[in-house]
């Protein structure tokens, strides 16, 4: 049976706790919920649906290649909004495009691309990669997105934390009830 897989950075405590509270407040205020299916995260590589036999290979490749990566500092801050199409709108916090983050993303795209489910992701990978942490997802209405822009444009949120691992999330489809996911951490070596 195939499940959907995503490699991501999950912020450490206490930042993840603060972001979870913020996400719950914003999604309640703006009548949305899709972003709450996942822990607060920055997507590095989406694999889509892959079969169980390839899942084992992905785990082996990550364990083998991620260990050699040096930890680095990640910075993100302030609210931004996207809203060009119904499938691509929401509220997010942009992440600084550091050489280390871009290098990690590019390495994972090249390493794991062979396991992709065939869906075209070129619009959001490599030089088009836009690192961010989604707070409110695509289920926000156009009216509530405009409200969010007015209310949040001048609010400042800034975070910085060391990235010492990546997490592979293996999850059910959002339409399945109950929604579930399983996560596995892959730690970098100590500097």
Q: What is the pLDDT of residues 86-109, one digit of tens each?
A: 667 899 999 999 999 999 999 999
Distances (CA, A) of 11 to 18, 41, 62, 98: 10, 7, 19, 16
154 three-class SS: coil
Measure the CA–CA gap between 184 and 179, rounded to whole angstroms: 17
**Structural domains in the chain, sorted by start:** 3-187 (3.90.1140.10)
Angular region, 3: left φ>0, alpha ψ -120 to 50, beta rest: beta
pLDDT at 178: 46
List per-block mean pLDDT (blocks of 10 residues) for the chain, which spans 191 residues. Answer: 80 95 95 88 88 85 89 94 78 95 93 80 76 93 93 90 93 58 83 62
pLDDT at 102: 95
pLDDT at 169: 87
pLDDT at 14: 95
H-state helical runs in 30-141: 52-66, 99-112
pLDDT at 108: 93
């Amino acid at each position: 049976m195939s499940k959907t897989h995503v490699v991501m950075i999950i912020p450490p405590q206490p930042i993840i706790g603060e972001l979870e509270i913020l996400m719950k407040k914003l999604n309640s205020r703006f009548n949305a919920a899709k972003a709450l299916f996942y822990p607060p995260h920055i997507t590095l590589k989406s694999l889509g649906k892959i079969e169980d036999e390839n899942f084992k290979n992905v785990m082996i490749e990550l364990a083998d290649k991620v260990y050699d990566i040096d930890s680095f500092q990640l910075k993100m801050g302030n609210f931004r909004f996207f809203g060009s199409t119904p499938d691509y709108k929401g509220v997010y916090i942009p992440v600084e495009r550091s050489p280390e983050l871009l290098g990690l993303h590019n390495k994972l795209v090249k390493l794991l691309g062979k396991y992709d489910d065939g869906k075209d992701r070129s619009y959001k990978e490599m030089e088009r990669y836009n690192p961010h942490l989604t707070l409110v997802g695509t289920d926000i209405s156009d009216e509530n997105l405009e409200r969010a822009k007015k209310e949040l444009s001048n609010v400042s949120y800034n975070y910085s934390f060391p990235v010492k691992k990546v997490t592979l999330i293996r999850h059910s489809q959002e339409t399945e009830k109950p929604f579930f996911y399983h996560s596995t951490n892959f730690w970098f070596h100590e500097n």
